[in-house]
């Protein structure tokens, strides 16, 4: 029973990540706040992804988090002022193997003293989550076929 509940939680997280990925891909290529007005108390900033941009990562995203900067497809920051939460999200593609990517983020979490959440972390599903103090990091690794992967990294800070 516990295994079934765990699988349902993992499946739910993956479904939400896929929906988020779809929303991100629809807005792909825009370099400023998405059309429409964010909800009250939410400020969204999107990084400039043009070839002349000096950085595809927004200030506040930790430089210690491994990212293939040359392959970034989207990078944004959402600040939820009512809830005291800042979320940094970076998406990129990689031709590295799933095992290599998985091991890189497992090692990042261990080397930076994050506690890995075994309740939702699943190599088979390509989802890893860790927490440390008032921060959370999660990575989702999507297999695109043809030895190509799409990654979504979230770094969340609770004030």
pLDDT, residue 50, reads 83
Report the pLDDT value the prediction gives residue 23, as an integer from 0 to 100.
46
Q: How many CB atoms lie within 10 A of CB 159?
A: 10
Q: Which residues of 26-55 are buried (b: 16+ CB within 10 A; e: fewer)?
A: eeeeeeeeeeeeeeeeeeeebbeeeeeeee
- pLDDT (tens, 9 = 90+) of the chain, 159 residues, equals 555 555 454 544 444 444 544 444 444 444 444 455 667 788 998 888 887 777 899 999 999 999 999 999 999 999 999 999 999 999 999 999 999 999 999 999 999 999 999 999 999 999 999 999 999 999 999 999 999 999 999 999 999
Distance CA 110, CA 130 (A): 9
pTM: 0.75
Looking at the DSSP assignment, which residues form a beta bridge with residue 46? 76
């Amino acid at each position: 029973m516990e295994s079934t509940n765990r699988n349902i939680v993992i499946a739910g997280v993956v479904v939400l990540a896929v929906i988020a990925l779809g929303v991100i891909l629809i807005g792909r290529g825009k370099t400023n706040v998405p059309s429409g007005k964010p909800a009250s108390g939410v400020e969204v900033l999107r990084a400039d992804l043009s070839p002349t941009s000096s950085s595809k990562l927004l200030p506040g995203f930790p430089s210690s988090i491994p990212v293939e900067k040359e392959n970034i497809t989207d990078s944004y920051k959402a600040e939820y002022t009512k809830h005291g939460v800042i979320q940094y999200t970076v998406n990129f593609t990689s031709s590295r193997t799933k095992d290599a990517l998985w091991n890189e983020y497992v090692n990042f979490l261990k080397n930076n003293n994050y506690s890995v959440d075994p309740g939702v972390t699943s190599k088979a599903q390509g989802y890893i989550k860790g927490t440390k103090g008032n921060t959370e990091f999660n990575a989702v690794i999507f297999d695109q076929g043809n030895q190509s992967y799409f990654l979504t990294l979230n770094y969340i800070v609770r004030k």
